[in-house]
Structures are given as C-alpha cells and as structure tokens.
Amino acid sequence: MTNGFGDYVRRRREALREADSGYSVRQVAQRIGVEPSFLSKVERGEAAPPSEAKIVALAGELGEDADVLLALAGKVSSDLQQAIRHRPELFAALIREMKDLPDHAVLRLVREVRDGTW
C-alpha cells in the first residue's frame, strides 16, 4: 500500500510539533476526534486514510489545503462530486480540456470579484 497520505501528514505534523508540543499524535487525534492509535497507523500506512470529514478536520489542524489532503488520500470532496454529478458532460469535458493547462491559465477561470467603475 503506498503511503503518500500518511507520510505527508506525519511530516507536516512533526514539522509543526517542533515549534508546538500540541502537535503530538495524541493531541492532534483528539482534536479531530479519532483514536491516537488509528492516526498513528494512518501515518505509517497501516490503515487507510480516514473519512472525508476527518481529513478536512486534519487539514484545518495542519494548516493544509483540504482538497490537497483529500487528493493524497485518493478522494475528491463531496461538493465537487456533487457538482460533477449535477452537470456530468459539462464538467467532464471541462476537466479533460483543462487538465494539461498551466496553473495560471486555469486560475483565470476561477470566478473573480468583478471590479467596476468608481
């Protein structure tokens, strides 16, 4: 079993722990509502990543982007799944069309705050 997710979480948590002892496995596990032994297994790649909600909570704890952590865990957030299911053809075409575009070109598609005349 590849352990990109667990490794990443452990590295981030340990980096934070250097400055703050509140980032021990036990305390982080408590704050996101899982057993410390489970989080420890996840970090070592001995257990599959937790549920979406727990990954989102973990991302919040570690100051990471939730979508990035979900992707590492092989998941896609449920709001994105819902958006795709709602308009499957449009989004499938859009994602396939955009998958090789450079980041800055993709970012231009994000909804901007419109500036007017003032």
Partner 1 sequence: MIELRDDCLHMRFPDVHPEARMSLHFQRTLRIPDDGGHYPLPAGLGPFPLRHVDDFADSVPPLWLEHGGVMLPMYQSEALWVNFDGGYPFAVKIAAGKIDAVTGKPWSNALHRRPQDYVTVPKQPWLDGYCVEKGVIRQFVAMPLGSGYSAEEQLTGKSEVGGLQLIAYPLKRTAYEKWIAERARAIEALPAASMMLSRCRGLDMGLALGGRMRQEIYDDPFQLSDWDQNHAARCFVHIANSQVWRAITGEEPPTTPLTAKEYRSHGIPWFEYYGEGKAVAGVGILDRLKSLAQIGAEKGDAPPLDDETITVDRVVVLREGLEKGQVREGRF
Distance CA 17, CA 34 (A): 18
8 vs 38, which CB is nearer to partner 1?
8
Interface segment toward partner 1; rule CB under 8 A; list 13-21, 44-52, 68-76, 81-89: 13-21
Tokens, residue 48: 């599959």
97 vs 103, which CB is nearer to partner 1?
103
Residue 63 touching partner 1 (CB under 8 A): yes
Does residue 27 contact residue 14 with C-beta atoms inside 8 Å?
no
CB burial of residue 63 (10 Å; 0-12, 13-18, 19+)? exposed
**Given the rule CB under 8 A, which residues bind partner 1?**
16, 19-20, 63, 103-104, 107-108, 110-118
